[in-house]
């Protein structure tokens, strides 16, 4: 079965063709990073307009790379939330138009589910259940995958997502956008123990996150240095900040795996590309006899492969959509 996946929830216009849920025949991503860099972050209206300009060409290229035509496609899967409403509408409208014109099944995919499903593409022998940390610019969730379509949230951020915090600290350090890769690179030159930034723990039994406190602590620390006329060691600050964030992500995720008796922790989302997070999670989980897996970086960022994979399993489970499908920017898991 060939699924055409379409993703446009934020600033990547993506299309992919995936066979039987796990074999990638094409993966095309048109990124808008250069477009939004001058603004220091994603501008929703600008993103929506660029999606409109590029989505047809991206889909055509995905079909060409897969050596397929629309006739070969069995179903069309699309992200319908969460995300930026204007951006989502471009993908949803395109998918609906194609499904209607071609008389193909339409499959609505939750964006966070898609990120989790990227692990099934990267690890062909992976089977649920397992615990997954989904960390990106918009999301920080600990999820238990009961099966291919049923997911339980064990913890989530109560304010900033981890990736959002990375972007904000990169901005105040003058590193640029996107912040995650830049913080990761600079942190390799710094001392993670240079500054003791806070690690927030919520209620005793809660696995929820809060990253606004550590973000504020970094900003206050920088202001204090400036007021005292002291030199700022950006590498040390980046390393210390990254250490605080990854400590909490690892601690909560490993605790969730232990509670669920899961011997596998999967990482997903843009922050899953962070080298410190991967190394620390692998080391600390390994001490508990838990294996850590993650997709290659191209499948951690927003992409349509993960949407096609999720769409395949939704279709097998009988979950299809009709022409009333709409974008839901605050869609819950």
Percentage of the chain exceeding pLDDT 70: 100
Q: For 29-33, what is the mean pLDDT?
A: 85
Percentage of the chain exceeding pLDDT 90: 85
Residue 33 confidence (pLDDT) above 80 = no
Only one residue has tokens 């992200």, namely: 79
Q: Over the stretch 96-145, which tens digit does the pLDDT of each residue have?
A: 999 999 999 999 999 999 999 999 999 999 999 999 999 987 889 999 99
Q: Over the stretch 186-204, which tens digit does the pLDDT of each residue have?
A: 999 999 999 999 998 888 7
pLDDT-wise least confident of 54-68, 78-92, 167-181? 167-181
Of the pLDDT bands very low, low, confident and very high (cuts 50, 70, 90), residue 178 is confident
Q: For 295-322, what is the mean pLDDT?
A: 96
Of the pLDDT bands very low, low, confident and very high (cuts 50, 70, 90), residue 88 is very high
Residue 87 confidence (pLDDT) above 80 = yes
Full set of structural domains in the chain with CATH = 2-115+300-316 (3.30.420.40), 128-297 (3.30.420.40)
Structure tokens at 47: 């993103």
Residue 318 confidence (pLDDT) above 90 = yes
When comparing pLDDT for 10 and 303, which is higher?
303
Angle 305-316/111-122 helices, nearest 10 degrees?
A: 100
Which pLDDT score, from 0 to 100, does residue 306 have? 97
Question: How many angstroms separate the first and last alpha carbons of the chain?
Answer: 26
Q: Is 69 exposed, middle or buried (0-12, 13-18, 19+ CB in 10 A)?
A: exposed
Which pTM value belongs to this model?
Answer: 0.92
What is the rounded radius of gyration, in angstroms, for the C-alpha atoms of the chain? Answer: 20
Of the pLDDT bands very low, low, confident and very high (cuts 50, 70, 90), residue 273 is very high
Only one residue has tokens 């060691």, namely: 233
Which pLDDT score, from 0 to 100, does residue 130 have? 97
Residue 35 confidence (pLDDT) above 90 = no
Q: For 312-330, what is the mean pLDDT?
A: 96
How many C-beta atoms lie closer than 10 Å to residue 332's C-beta?
9
Residue 154 confidence (pLDDT) above 80 = yes
Cα-to-chain-centroid distance, residue 306: 10
Of the pLDDT bands very low, low, confident and very high (cuts 50, 70, 90), residue 314 is very high
* Average pLDDT in the chain: 94
């Amino acid at each position: 079965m060939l699924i055409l996946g379409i993703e446009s929830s934020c600033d990547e216009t993506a299309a992919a063709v995936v066979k039987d849920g796990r074999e990638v025949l094409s993966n095309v991503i048109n990124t808008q990073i250069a477009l939004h860099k001058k603004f220091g972050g994603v501008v929703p209206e600008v993103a929506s307009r660029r999606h409109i300009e590029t989505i047809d060409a991206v889909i055509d290229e995905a079909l060409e790379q897969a050596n397929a035509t629309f006739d070969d496609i069995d179903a069309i899967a699309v992200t319908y939330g969460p995300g930026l409403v204007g951006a989502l509408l471009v993908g949803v409208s395109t998918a609906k138009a194609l499904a209607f014109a071609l008389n193909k099944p339409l499959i609505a995919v939750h964006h966070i589910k898609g990120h989790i499903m990227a692990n099934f593409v990267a690890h062909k022998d992976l089977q649920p259940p397992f615990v997954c940390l989904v960390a990106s610019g918009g999301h920080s969730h600990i999820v238990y995958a009961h099966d291919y379509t049923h997911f339980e949230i064990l913890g989530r951020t109560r304010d900033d997502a981890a990736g959002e915090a990375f972007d904000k600290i990169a901005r105040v350090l003058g590193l640029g956008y996107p912040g995650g890769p830049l913080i990761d690179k600079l942190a390799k030159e710094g001392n993670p123990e240079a500054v003791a930034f806070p690690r927030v723990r919520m209620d005793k039994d809660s696995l929820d996150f809060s990253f606004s406190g550590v973000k504020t602590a970094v900003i206050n620390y920088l202001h204090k240095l400036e007021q005292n006329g002291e030199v700022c060691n950006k590498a040390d600050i980046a390393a210390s900040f990254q250490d605080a964030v990854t400590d909490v992500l690892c601690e909560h995720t490993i605790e969730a795996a232990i509670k669920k008796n899961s011997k596998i922790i999967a990482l997903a989302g843009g922050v899953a590309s962070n080298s410190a997070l991967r190394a620390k999670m692998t080391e600390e989980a390994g001490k508990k006899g838990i294996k850590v897996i993650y997709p290659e970086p191209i499948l951690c960022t927003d992409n349509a492969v993960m949407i096609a994979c999720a769409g395949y399993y939704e279709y097998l489970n009988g979950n299809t959509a009709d022409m009333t499908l709409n974008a839901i920017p605050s869609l819950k898991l």
